[in-house]
A and B are shown apart, each in its own frame.
Chain A
Amino acid sequence: MAETIFFIVFALGALGFSAAVLIAKNPINSAVMLVCSFFCLAGIYVMLSATFMAVIQILVYAGAIMVLFIFVLMLLNIRDDEIEAPRLSIHQGIAILAGTGIFFTIALSIAAWSGSSSRVAHDTMSDTFGTVEPIGDQLITSYVLPFEMAAILLLVGIVGAVVVAKKRF
């Protein structure tokens, strides 16, 4: 009962705030709405017993990436009257196509998955599911290559940022 209520609150919140991101005229409003939608997603993660995922979601997306977004938006400080009326460009057409494509792919795969018998029942879940230890264990044993590749990708990003910034001085 309580679970259903919380799920409805978080799911509607995530959908509503995501819609608000697209609708909001002011870029800062959009960014803050996106943060709110991250919080709702984190709530859903908590309900799925994935507390570690939830905390990382807030830590990385809401706490780091979106702060940077807002920082840049505040530096630019775009006024409402400077924002031009939206026009449909080729980029937006591609974006709409890609968005609907991804939506249908995910929807179809969820539909196919929920019909299959390979679902893991809730009561077979171990006590430590979603906690830090098993995830860390998996990351440095089974998934050590993707993990290190992601680290190298981030390093390349940092070096790239330094190279780009250096040219100006």
Chain B
Amino acid sequence: MLTDILLILLKIVAVVLLFAMPIGSLMTLLGDRKQSSMIQNRVGPNRARLSIIPGLGRLPLVGIPHFLADGLKMIFKEDAIPDGADRTWHNIVPAMALFPAIVMWAVIPFHDHYCTGEIVVQNYRDICVEGQTRNFFSIANLDAGLLYVFAISGVSVYGAAIAGWASNAKYSLIGGLRSSAQMISYEVSMALSVAGAILIYGTLNLNEMVVQQGHLIGGWLPMWGIVVQPLAFFIFLGAMMAETKRAPFDMPEGESEIVAGYFTEFSSMKFAVIQLSEYVATVFVGALIATIFLGGWQVPYLYGDGFHFGNTPTAALELPYWAVIALRIGAFSFKTIFILWLQFMLRWTLPRFRYDQVMNLGWKIFLPLSLANLVITAFVVAIL
């Protein structure tokens, strides 16, 4: 009982503090400032130095010291609350924004369940014989994992909406309204586009979904989501980017129209927390897309006891179990960061949409396409 609780706490600390938050906050710098400067042919942040640590005093370290300096600066800024604003909500809102962004990580599998016995590979699956499977690599192995993600991402509207309302400012209110309208619209095509993948894998459990993606079509092509559901991948990527309010879907922030949208009136660490929650959600998009469409922790041809080329019972290249686990977690992290990089590339190279274009794209293009995708997938699954 106590060890179970300790294990869960350990997993939460590992996922949130060692994976989601560091990558999320590092992205504020490397993605949004360094990568954007490279795209726009600028130098970008390179002035801050870590001169406290001897030997690092002269190195720019791709601008990473800037992100430490920024954090320090945020703490010492004045926390201003506008006149007439709802003080209680204004103080609570940053937590409301951060809560869903972190809680969503509970169902992401970083690796298959740990097997205490021997692993036998059968039909592209690791089967655990003479031992138990222990859930060490996801915080909760929820049966309705994907629905849980949709539920929590639906709740994440509140942070933005209430932030806009509680600021007692016109720009903020418009930003809050835009964000709730946009998130409601894109949730529909987000859920419908994955419905095809749910039909194919026949499960809502994210780990089971990843296990099934280890199947090889024709003995060589991994059955990843992007292979069997290519259209859904693009719709889902677009809809998730709109959900996290990233450019080109950054209507709720709309720098050129409404200052900073729903968080115009937030300063100091409150601003930092809202900003950070957005980045953590962006990392989560990477992790979720990697899980559903890019095979999650699967490395092609790698199974529990080593590399198999084709449906063979013995491994062509045997590997110890710890090496397999390390390779798989590494593959998952790599895929997550790749999708993250892709999102930042899209953000900084595409022009912004107008508000009506965002709505048209969601309701008139994404929704019919994902419905058509669902119907066709249903027919194909029923026939096969």
* Contact residue among B150, B173, B184 (Cβ-Cβ distance under 8 Å from A59): B150
A132 to B201, alpha carbons, bound, how many Å? 14
* Contact residue among B142, B143, B161, B164 (Cβ-Cβ distance under 8 Å from A67): B161
B236 CB–A CB distance under 8 Å: no
Q: How far is the CB of B147 from chain A (nearest CB, A)?
A: 5
User: Which residues from A are CB-within-8-Å of B183?
Assistant: 67
Q: Let me know if A59 and B147 touch, CB within 8 A.
A: yes
Give residues 45-75 of A contacting B (CB, 8 Å). Answer: 51-52, 55-56, 58-59, 62-64, 67-68, 70-71, 74-75
A126 to B184, alpha carbons, bound, how many Å? 37
A131 to B187, alpha carbons, bound, how many Å? 23
Give residues 63-86 of B contacting A (CB, 8 Å). Answer: none
A76 to B152, alpha carbons, bound, how many Å? 26
Residue of B nearest to A29 (CB): B89
Q: Let me know if B144 and A35 touch, CB within 8 A.
A: no
Number of residues from A at the complex interface, CB < 8 A:
22
Q: A70-B180, A71-B181 are in contact. Are A58 and B152 (CB under 8 A)?
A: yes
A68 to B165, alpha carbons, bound, how many Å? 14
Residue of B nearest to A35 (CB): B158
Q: Let me know if B143 and A62 touch, CB within 8 A.
A: no
User: Which residues from A are CB-within-8-Å of B181?
Assistant: 71
Number of residues from B at the complex interface, CB < 8 A:
28
Q: Let me know if A131 and B143 touch, CB within 8 A.
A: yes
User: Which residues from B are CB-within-8-Å of A11?
Assistant: none
Q: How far is the CB of B229 from chain A (nearest CB, A)?
A: 20
A20 CB–B CB distance under 8 Å: no
User: Which residues from A are CB-within-8-Å of B161?
Assistant: 67, 70-71, 74
Q: Let me know if B155 and A63 touch, CB within 8 A.
A: yes
Residue of A nearest to B5 (CB): A2
A67 to B157, alpha carbons, bound, how many Å? 7
Q: A55-B148, A63-B151 are in contact. Are A71 and B143 (CB under 8 A)?
A: no
Q: How far is the CB of A157 from chain B (nearest CB, A)?
A: 15
A52 to B177, alpha carbons, bound, how many Å? 30
* Contact residue among A62, A74, A77, A131 (Cβ-Cβ distance under 8 Å from B151): A62
A127 to B164, alpha carbons, bound, how many Å? 45
User: Which residues from B are CB-within-8-Å of A28?
Assistant: 89, 162, 165
B146-175 interface mask toward A, CB cutoff 8 Å, 1 = contact, 0 = none? 011011111101100110110000000100
A70 to B164, alpha carbons, bound, how many Å? 12
B109 CB–A CB distance under 8 Å: no
A123-137 interface mask toward B, CB cutoff 8 Å, 1 = contact, 0 = none? 000000001100000
Q: A28-B162, A71-B161, A71-B181 are in contact. Are A55 and B173 (CB under 8 A)?
A: no
Q: Let me know if B180 and A67 touch, CB within 8 A.
A: yes
A55 to B205, alpha carbons, bound, how many Å? 13
Q: Let me know if A63 and B154 touch, CB within 8 A.
A: yes
Q: Let me know if A55 and B184 touch, CB within 8 A.
A: no
Q: Let me know if A56 and B147 touch, CB within 8 A.
A: yes
A2 to B5, alpha carbons, bound, how many Å? 11
* Contact residue among B147, B164, B165, B187 (Cβ-Cβ distance under 8 Å from A55): B147
A48 to B150, alpha carbons, bound, how many Å? 22
Q: Let me know if B143 and A51 touch, CB within 8 A.
A: yes
User: Which residues from B are CB-within-8-Å of A63?
Assistant: 150-155, 157, 187
Q: Let me know if B148 and A32 touch, CB within 8 A.
A: no
Residue of A nearest to B154 (CB): A63
Q: A51-B142, A52-B144, A55-B148 are in contact. Are A74 and B154 (CB under 8 A)?
A: no
Q: Let me know if B204 and A58 touch, CB within 8 A.
A: no
B315-344 interface mask toward A, CB cutoff 8 Å, 1 = contact, 0 = none? 000000000000000000000000000000
B176 CB–A CB distance under 8 Å: yes
Q: How far is the CB of A55 from chain B (nearest CB, A)?
A: 5
A77 to B158, alpha carbons, bound, how many Å? 16
A168 to B76, alpha carbons, bound, how many Å? 52
Q: How far is the CB of A43 from chain B (nearest CB, A)?
A: 13
A52 to B204, alpha carbons, bound, how many Å? 11
Q: How far is the CB of B209 from chain A (nearest CB, A)?
A: 13
Q: Let me know if B162 and A70 touch, CB within 8 A.
A: yes
* Contact residue among B143, B154, B184 (Cβ-Cβ distance under 8 Å from A52): B143
* Contact residue among B155, B164, B187 (Cβ-Cβ distance under 8 Å from A62): B155
A64 to B152, alpha carbons, bound, how many Å? 11
Residue of B nearest to A39 (CB): B155
B129-152 interface mask toward A, CB cutoff 8 Å, 1 = contact, 0 = none? 000000000000011100110111
Residue of B nearest to A57 (CB): B151
Q: Let me know if A132 and B143 touch, CB within 8 A.
A: yes
Q: How far is the CB of A104 from chain B (nearest CB, A)?
A: 33
User: Which residues from A are CB-within-8-Å of B155?
Assistant: 35, 58, 62-63
Q: List the interface of chain B (C-beta within 8 A of A).
A: 1, 89, 142-144, 147-148, 150-155, 157-158, 161-162, 164-165, 173, 176-177, 180-181, 183-184, 187, 204
13 contacts between A and B (CB under 8 A): A51-B144, A52-B147, A55-B144, A56-B147, A59-B154, A63-B155, A68-B184, A70-B158, A71-B161, A71-B184, A74-B176, A132-B143, A132-B204
Give 8 nearest A-B pairs by CB, closest first.
Answer: A63-B154, A59-B151, A58-B151, A131-B143, A55-B147, A55-B144, A71-B180, A67-B157
